[in-house]
Amino acid sequence: MNNDLNNYSKTNLKLWNGLTRIHEKSDFYNLEEFKSNRNSLKQIEIEEVGEVTGKSMLHLQCHFGLDSLSWAVKGAQVTGVDFSSEAISLAESLSRELQIPLHFICSDIYDLPENLEQKFDIVFTSYGVLNWLNDLNKWASLIAHYLKPGGFLYMIEFHPLVGMLNDDGEFEYGYFFHSEPERFFQQGSYANPDADFSQESFEWAHGLGEIVTALIKAGLKIEYLHEFPFSSYNCYPFLEAKKPGQYVLKNKRPSIPLMFSIKAKV
């Protein structure tokens, strides 16, 4: 890793260690409710991933593991990976407290081959992860490396068009990848905008064509690409509720895709 990328990674790690402490106490993640119902998954991914009982699953960029724990409750044998030590520590604590057995690894995903040898039936990744990655070809190769023959990737993610919008819902940022990331200064968190926290961050844009092409180049076969005109999460200031669990652009503006999902097999 060159010096610039190393500095970007260190800055973003500081961000996510700080955000984890905020998210643990936030209404957005609502840990007390999770401890009761033991599910953070949305219906879209539950239906599209399908039955997971007895299947091994690698969850990349798992944050503090609520989705990882949820898949384990549904019967998957889950390994969750995140680069934030604060997030992994909290995930492990929740696993012990709730007596939900699974495995967590603290690692940058690009370094994962140094820390994990196992192959998996499913690789899962979701919601707000790709913008923190600078090399999608390497990311896709890692996914192909960790899938067993007949295994599949399932990803659900905010649409690249969302990354172009500023807080007012106006187009401001680029769609296409550039090696030099966009620099932001985060105030608070999407989970708690009023939190007393500020931190610099660096993010990369990735168009839909780049994402799909990276997976194909890695040898994966795209089974489907679905686009959705709503977000499952109310985590942007330019969204409003359409109905429970579905958020759209405010002020009845023209519909654009706000999320997409991909299933791809080796």
pLDDT digits 0-9 by tens, 101-150: 999 999 999 999 999 999 999 999 999 999 999 999 999 999 999 999 99
Phi, psi of 135 (to 5 degrees): -140, 95
Q: Would the pTM of this model clear 0.95, i.e. be above it?
A: yes
CB 11 within 8 A of CB 200: yes
Q: What is the pLDDT of residue 45?
A: 98
Per DSSP, 174 falls in state -
CA 87 to chain centre: 13
Q: Exposed e or buried b for every residue in 40-57, given b needs 16+ CB within 10 A?
A: bbbebbeeebeebeebbb
Contacts of 126 (CB under 8 A, 6+ apart): 45, 67, 155, 156, 157
How far is residue 83's CA from residue 72's CA, in Å, rounded to a whole number? 20
Quick: pLDDT tens for 162-194.
999 999 999 999 999 999 999 999 899 999 999
Report the amino acid identity of residue 50: G
Q: Predicted confidence band at 1 (pLDDT cuts at 50, 70, 90)? A: low
Is residue 201 within a helix (H) or strand (E), and if so which, with residue range?
Answer: strand 198-203
**Domains identified in the chain and CATH numbers:** 119-265 (3.40.50)
Quick: pLDDT tens for 196-211.
999 999 999 999 999 9
CA 111 to chain centre: 17
